[in-house]
Amino acid sequence: MYSDLLNALPEVLSLANFAAVIIGVIAGIVVGAMPGLSATMAISVLVPFTFGLEPLVALGLMAGIYNGAMYGGAIPAVLLRIPGTPAAVATTFDGYPMAQKGEGGFALQVAVVSSSIGGIASAFALMLLAPPLSQVTLLFGPSEVFWVAIFGLASIIFLLGGSPVKGLISACFGVFVSVIGADPIFGTDRYTFGQLEMLDGISIVILLVGLYALPPVIDLLETPLKTETDANKLGTEPIWRTLPRMGRFWKTWIRGSLIGIWIGILPGAGGSMAAFMSYNEARRASKTPETWGNGEPEGVAAAEVANNADTASALIPALTLGIPGTAVAAVMLGGLMIHGLQPGPMLFRENPDVVFGFMWQFLFGAILLVFLGGSLATNSFARLLNLPRPLLGSVIIVLMLIGVYSIHGRMFDVYLMLGFGAIGYVMDKLKFPLPPVVLGLILGAFAEENLRLALRIGRGDWTILFQNVTSLVIVALTIAVIVGPLIKRRYVNKRLKAELGSKTGMEE
Amino acid sequence: MSKPQNNRLLRPETLTAVGITAISAALLVPTFGMRAMSALLPAAMLIGLIGLSILLLLSDQRKAAANEEAKPMTQAPKRVAGAFLLVVAYALATDFVGFYASTVISIPLVAWVFGFRHPLGLAAATLVVVGSIWLIFDFGMSQEFPSGRLWEK
């Protein structure tokens, strides 16, 4: 099982594949450092450009961007108190006070070392846990696969938080988009409206770019943010000199890594939740909790180690079951699919070199963070915040157009992408979650195909879906995922009401 | 939609719910002409969308009845509309006039309209971006971009 992991190593170390990781990490740090741009957006824009590349080069770029962006978000969080990515919110709590005290350089070094440690731990978790899980899922038949798809959709809707109704609407929309095109069995046209371009269905890349890249670009143009940073006042020392001062964070690093890995595996949860949980736990365990929030470096370490520890681990359910743990993992699934790699158990059997190579790339990406995001680079990256956002927006628009046009060489796809972009903008502003749309598109077709296959095997008997233990276990898990958060919400509301009642009683 | 809506029916969520219901109902019609198994998933999703949008509508109207203000979708509606218009105009220009001509105009125009008015910076950025695109995609990868429908014979 693990021999494939070692066999994949030489290929990853080839010049092109390794260079892809390096370029990805640098690009990720740049993107993450710019408030308003996220790893999800960067990978969405990148995916169409990877069509002509070897799968490992494309995946190396994605792994590098993901790792780099999670750290890059810390740069404006520390220097400006503006989190570059949602996962960097907790980094602002102590990072910004440190920068105000003239310790911004040290804060960024703590962030980069912690991010790297979190990323390394996460990559090891992916390497250790994904292969055995994939062996189990190899035993699944069509009805189990159908239920796994339903479980994936249910978990991302109900564990994501926010309004379940909006989550369900997003998922239904995604599944509906997945049925557009010719019916996979009968070949009947479904919602193509006579457009030949839609017969093959809607490419996930068009949807990804529209949903994830256009709304942030509109945001960039809507509120131009003026940032003034002076990288010379960061107080940066060489990173090797500051490392001994970080030794005392080892407990926080272990705790934060475990939290990040766990949150990453859970579908629907993400880096920001991991960072908050890790920060809170580290503060609770601290002997000096009163210093937290006033520039405590351990606070930066706690937040950054956890938000990077959820990167590779989010791919454990994504690669083995086809259920992404985070929005970025969902976009990465799209990236895998355009290279003809269907996430799921067969991926490990049919393309072990690619899937295990991808795991190594995550590990190398995390290690490279220290070197590329280290002291000298940190100063350079801090200057990026001064880039004019309208110019950045206009360049991204051009890249989006090129990327989408390049897929099939037709403008129809560009117009389709703009349509999805407009829908994505409205959804974003009205707080409809976007990951269920992507997951709906990925899993919708998958679920339909397996449902119909199961029904064919059962000669039209629907009870075939409930005839084995594995299916029943997945059904039970799906129900738990749906009912659990609803019960929890009711319990929390009841407790809040009771607390409010007792307070008003005391006041009277 | 820049200011909180006083009219209960013009709240963004209400309008969205009504829009989803209407579009889903219209898309449901073609399912009657499909085979049962082909229509199963799309019909289920569309019926689901209709039901869920009604729930969303009811929940938003309940909030309106409780005098809860609807949050505006954007702080700068003119800028948002302008940004969308420019993006669509760029796509149309690429389609009809051609990629390079549209891009050379679009990059500085969008940046200028939205506040970056440094002529040298604009010229340099346009040159670098368009030059890199030509070098990487056109020259390096032999990627063809739209030459413009207007110039097609």
- Name the pLDDT band for A270 (thresholds 50, 70, 90): low
CA gap A179, A189 in Å, rounded? 10
Contacts of B134 in chain A (CB under 8 A): none
Q: Is residue B134 part of a domain?
A: yes
Average pLDDT over residues A365-374: 88
Q: What is the pLDDT, as a whole number, of residue A266? A: 74
Q: Residue A154: pLDDT above 90? A: no
User: Cα–Cα distance between A194 and A440 in angstroms, integer?
Assistant: 24
Residues B87 and B54 in one domain: no
* Nearest-CA distance B114 → chain A (Å): 6
Residue A288 has pLDDT above 90, yes or no: no
What tens digit of pLDDT does each residue of B37-92 get? 899 999 999 999 999 999 999 999 999 999 888 888 888 899 999 999 999 999 99
- Taking the CA of residue A98 and the nearest CA in chain B, the distance in Å comes to 32
Q: Is residue B2 part of a domain?
A: no
A149 touches A448 (CB < 8 A): no
**Smallest CA–CA distance from A390 into chain B, residue:** B111
For A217, which residue in chain B has the nearest alpha carbon?
B83
**CA nearest A394 in B: which residue?**
B107
Same domain, B103 and B140: yes
For residues A508 and A413, which has the higher predicted lDDT (pLDDT)?
A413
Q: State the total domains in chain A.
A: 1
Return the minimum-mean-pLDDT range out of A209-213, A217-221, A339-343, B96-100.
A339-343
Q: What is the C-alpha to C-alpha distance for residues A391 and A379, in angstroms, rounded to an integer?
A: 22
Same domain, B91 and B143: yes
Name the residue range of residue B14's domain. Answer: 8-65
**pLDDT tier for residue B101 given thresholds of 50, 70 and 90:** very high
- C-beta atoms of B129 and A395 within 8 A: yes
Q: Which element (helix H / strand E) includes A181?
A: strand A181-182
Q: pLDDT per residue over A473-489, tens digit each?
A: 989 988 888 888 778 77
Q: Which of A22, A112, A27 is nearest to A75 (CA)?
A: A112
Between residues A352 and A51, the one the model is more confident about? A352
Query: Are A73 and A308 within 8 A, CB to CB?
Result: no
Q: Binning pLDDT at 50, 70 and 90, where does residue A505 land? A: low
Res A231 pLDDT > 60:
no
User: Which is more confident, A410 or A79?
Assistant: A410
* A181 backbone dihedrals φ, ψ, rounded to 5°: 120, -165
Residues B148 and A413: beta-carbon distance below 8 Å: no
Asked if residue B138 and residue B91 are part of one domain, the reply reads yes
SS (H, E, C) B52-113: HHHHHHHHHHHHHHCCCCCCCCCCCHHHHHHHHHHHHHHHHHHHHCCHHHHHHHHHHHHHHH
Residue B71, in any domain of the structure: no
**Above pLDDT 70, what percent of chain A?**
91
In the structure, what pLDDT confidence band is assigned to residue A40 with cuts at 50, 70 and 90? confident
Taking 60 as the threshold, does the pLDDT of residue B109 lie above it? yes
Contacts of B15 in chain A (CB under 8 A): none
- Tell whether the torsion through CA atoms of A47, A49, A52 and A56 is positive or negative: negative
* Mean pLDDT across chain B: 91
Beta bridge partners of A182: A189
Q: State ipTM.
A: 0.93
Residue A318 above 60 pLDDT?
Answer: yes
Q: How confident is the model at residue B1 (pLDDT cuts 50, 70, 90)?
A: very low
Mean per-residue pLDDT, B143-147: 89
Q: Has residue A261 got a pLDDT over 70?
A: yes
How many domains in chain B?
Answer: 2
**pLDDT of the residue at B2:** 47
- Judged by average pLDDT, the poorest of A135-139, A252-256, A378-382, A447-451 is A378-382
The pLDDT assigned to B96 comes to 96
Tokens 């595996």, residue located: A265
Residues of B in contact with A172 (CB under 8 A): 45-46, 48-49, 52
| Chain A residues inside the 8 Å CB shell of B87 | 214, 217-218, 397, 418, 421
User: Is the same domain home to B52 and B21?
Assistant: yes
Whether residue B55 lies inside any domain: the answer is yes
Residue A214's domain comprises 3-139+206-395
B117 assigned to some structural domain: yes
**B74, A222: Cβ pair inside 8 Å?**
yes
A461: in domain: no
**What local confidence, expressed as pLDDT, does residue A384 receive?**
66
- Per-residue pLDDT at A306 exceeds 90: yes
Using a cut of 0.90, tell me whether the model's pTM lies above it. no
Q: Give the separation between CA A246 and CA A242, rounded to whole angstroms.
A: 7
Looking at the structure, do residues B139 and B102 belong to the same domain, yes or no? Answer: yes
Q: Would you say residue A406 lies in a domain?
A: no
Element (H, E) at A190: strand A189-190
| Contacts of residue B41, Cβ cutoff 8 Å, sequence gap at least 6 | A175, A179, A444, A447, A448
Considering chain A, what is the average pLDDT of its residues?
A: 85
Across the interface, do B56 and A165 touch by the CB < 8 Å criterion? yes
User: What DSSP element (H or E) covers A182?
Assistant: strand A181-182
Contact A362, A311 (CB under 8 A): yes
In this structure, the answer to whether residues B145 and B93 fall within a common structural domain is yes
How big is the A-B interface in CB pairs under 8 Å? Answer: 157
User: Does B52 map to a domain?
Assistant: yes
